[in-house]
Amino acid sequence: MRRPTMTDVAREVGVTAKTVSRVLNDDGPVAVETRERVMAAVRKLGYQPNLMARNMRVGARDAAIGLVIPEMGNPFFGTVAGGIESAVRARGLTLIVGSSSETPELEQSLIAAFLARRVSALMIVPSAASDHRHLRSERVAGLPIVFLDRPAVGLTADSVVSANRAGARSGVAHLISYGHRRIGFVGDVPAALYTRRERFQGYRDALEAAGLPFDRTLVDTGHDADAAAQATLRLLALPAPPTALFAGNNLAAMGAVVALAKSGRKEVALVGFDDLPLAEVLDPPLTVVAQDPEAIGVAAAERVLLRLDGDRSRARGTLVPTRLIVRGSGEQPPRG
């Protein structure tokens, strides 16, 4: 009933564990006949090597990379993970993923779980309000750590993030180029999260570059799609409502789309940050500043692989460019 060990296989064949080890690891010479008998015994007993024991003996870390994402169901993070996985797989590394549910406590306990399993590297999409000072000793010990989507807090480390500020700026500039002067911002509380701060800054950058005033009343926020829809309705109900909206994230964009559709205000121009699956079949089709989650994952994986290869140069921040996808909703001129 016990799971067979290398010794069990050895006994079955009538050799020593070391010989079995040699066969399994292609290490050192072994007679052809012995090899075959060992392999037969391995199959017969259903032997599975114990990676934990192996890694411990070799003193090596586990050939796995730990990835922490805030949310599994979010296709953005899922696609990031997919990009990482395909990039590290070629190197024989296994990606193991855990989700923090956007809470610092779970993030920390996940990181601890990965460290306890002696992963070869850590990749982290930080949750809001988390702090990474506790990882300093790991950094010093040479463990590769890369932060994705949002930079580390309290720690100097590699990071790979979207060009949030430049992207938002280009989206708002796009609206301005179509003649809009009153552009609303629908998003999430800017202060909480790095990406939101950056995108909000990009919004202000674009206004400033065009010589337009910043009007705080044109900024409203909501945590999810429903709340964003409410925020949109409030903006439209202003005495001097905006003629265009910029949505700071995909949930905000969904909320805005729903609100505009249900209130029959489809003439209001809209540009969203982050693409949506059905953006092109909406009425009007949604113009977005698209991120490239797969590219973020691949870039982060390449950085980790470099570090694993011994690159000890100083921490680097990588910006992954965004792309403006013109579909219709952002090219409607001001009305009313």
Partner DNA sequence: TTGTATGCGTTATCAC
Partner DNA sequence: GTGATAACGCATACAA
Question: Shortest Cβ distance from residue 135 to DNA (Å)?
Answer: 18
CB of 106 to a copy of itself, least distance (A): 8
Of 321, 249, 296, 291, which Cα lies nearest the Cα of 147? Answer: 296
DSSP string covering 14-70, please? TS-HHHHHHHHHT-S---HHHHHHHHHHHHHHT----HHHHHHHHTPPEEEEEEEES
By a kind-dependent CB cut-off of 5 to 8 A, residue 333 interacts, out of a copy of itself, DNA, none, with none
**Residue 284 within binding range of a copy of itself, rule CB under 8 A:** no
- Write down the H helix ranges in the chain: 6-13, 17-25, 32-45, 51-58, 75-89, 104-116, 136-140, 164-177, 194-209, 225-236, 250-262, 293-308
Which tokens go with 319?
């910006």
- Our CB check for a copy of itself shows the closer of 205 and 226 to be 226
Q: Could you say which of 145, 193, 206, 254 contacts a copy of itself (CB under 8 A)?
A: 254
Nearest distance from C-beta of residue 13 to DNA, angstroms: 8
Complex with a copy of itself: residue 142 or 317, whichever CB lies closer:
142
Q: Does 265 bind a copy of itself (CB under 8 A)?
A: no
Per CB under 8 A, contacts with a copy of itself among 136-165 are 137-138, 141-142
Q: What is the CA radius of gyration of the chain?
A: 26
Q: Spell out, one character per residue from 92 to 131, where the chain touches a copy of itself: x when CB under 8 A holds, - when not.
A: --xxxxxx-x----x---x-xx-xxxx-------------
Supply 214's token pair. 């910043």
**Backbone phi and psi for residue 48, each to the nearest 5 degrees, phi listed first:** -125, 120
Residues that bind DNA (CB under 7 A): 2-3, 5-7, 14-19, 21-22, 24-25, 27-31, 33-35, 49-50, 53-54, 56-59
Residue of 17, 24, 30, 82 that binds a copy of itself (CB under 8 A) = 82
Using CB under 8 A as the binding rule, whether residue 239 contacts a copy of itself is answered as no
**Which three-class secondary structure state does DSSP give residue 157?**
coil
